[in-house]
Amino acid sequence: MSAIEISVAKPPISLSPPWVSLLHSYKSSLKAKNRSLKTISWYMPILQRFFAFHENQNHGKPLNHIGVKDVEAYLLHLQKAIRWEHSPKMKPNGNLSPFSIQGHARTIKAFFSWLVDQGYLEHNPIAKFPLPKVPKKLMPTLSIEQLKKLFSALDKSTPLGARNYCILALLLDTGLRISELANIKMTDFDSMMTILKVKGKGQKERVVPISKFARKGLTKYLQHYRPHLYQGESLFLFPKSDGNHISNNCVQQESRRLAKKAGLSGVQVSPHVFRHTFATMYLRKGGQSLALKEILGHESIQTTEKYVHLQPADLLAQHEQYSPLSELLEK
C-alpha cells in the first residue's frame, strides 16, 4: 500500500490579534539585521496605523486577502488626513506631504516582502504596486560665497571655535551623516589621519578619505584645543564635558548659530545640507559617481545619482558656452 501525502493548507491570517504579534516578529527581525532604531521607530507606527485602518474598514479581513485596492484606499485616506499629533514637524491642519505618503507605501511593501520571505504568505499581493510619485526637488546646497561667510564667522583661536571649524571642515570634506560625525572615535583614523573608518546605516563599515586641508585643522585642534574641552581620556574626537560624544542636536544648534552670526538668511544651514553640498561639488569638480557612492555609504548608485543635477548657476554657465545663438552672434 503506497503512502498517501496529505497537504494541510494554512488557515488565513486574520488581522486581529495576530497582526500585532507579526509586527513584534518583524521588529525583532529588523533589529537582528542591524537596522537603525530611527528606521524601526519609523516603520512600526506606520504599520500599526495601516492595520488599524483596515481593521476598522474591513472588520478582520484576512491578511493574505489584502491587495492593491486596500493599499490604494489607505493612501487615499492619508491624503486627507492631518499630520500625526506627535510629529515634531506638524503644522496646524497640515496634510502629510507626498514624500511621507510614499514612505508609508514603501514601508508597507517592505513588510509584505518580509511576510513572504518568512513563509507567512505564499506570494506578495502588492509586489507590483507602484510607489506614489513625488515632486522632484533640487537638493539644497551652499554656494562658495556662503561657505566663505560661514568659515569666516568662526573664531578658531578658541577651543569651541577650533572644534566647530573641524566639524564643518569634516562635513564639507567627507559628506558624513550627522550621527557618523558625532560618533567618530580617535581609533577610527589611520596613523596618518588620511583614512577614516565609518560605521554607517545598518552598522555597515566603510572607509572615507580625509584631505590634507581637513587634516591640518584636525591636527591643530587635537594638539592645542581638544585638551581644553575635555582633560580626561575620551574615545571620541569631539567629546562633551563628561567624555561622551557630542549629540546630533549640538551639531545642529551650532550650525544654526553660526549661520545667524555669518548673516545668512533665507538659506538652510545644517549637516545634511553640507552632505548635499559636498556631493554636488564633488561631482561638479569631476569626481566619479562610483567613488562618491562609496564615500557617502549609499547602497545603490541610483541614490548617488540624485546629486547629478545642475544648479541654476551651472545651467547658466553651460548655456552661455553651448547656446546655438553664440555661434551666430560671436562671429
Q: Give the model's pLDDT for residue 89.
A: 46
pLDDT for residue 20: 84
Average pLDDT, the chain: 84
CATH class of 144-315: mainly alpha
Q: Please tell me which residue, 128 or 84, carries the higher pLDDT value.
A: 128
- Kindly report, residue by residue over 85-129, the tens digit of the pLDDT: 444 444 445 678 888 899 999 999 999 999 999 988 888 989 889
Domain coordinates of the chain in residue numbers? 18-117, 144-315
Calpha distance 214→172 (Å, rounded)? 9
Q: For 149-179, how does the pLDDT look when each residue is reduced to its tens digit (9 = 90+)?
A: 999 999 999 999 999 999 999 999 999 999 9
Active site residues: 177, 201, 272, 275, 298, 307
Return the minimum-mean-pLDDT range out of 126-130, 236-240, 287-291, 324-328. Answer: 324-328
Q: What is the pLDDT of residue 303?
A: 80
Greatest CA separation for the chain: 98
pLDDT band at 59 (very low <50, low <70, confident <90, very high): low
pLDDT in tens, 261-278: 999 988 899 999 999 999
pLDDT of residue 74: 92
Structure-model confidence comparison of residues 283 and 222, the more confident one: 222
> At residue 232, does pLDDT exceed 90?
no
Assigned fold of 18-117: DNA polymerase; domain 1 (1.10.150)
Q: What's this model's pTM, rounded to 2 decimal places?
A: 0.70
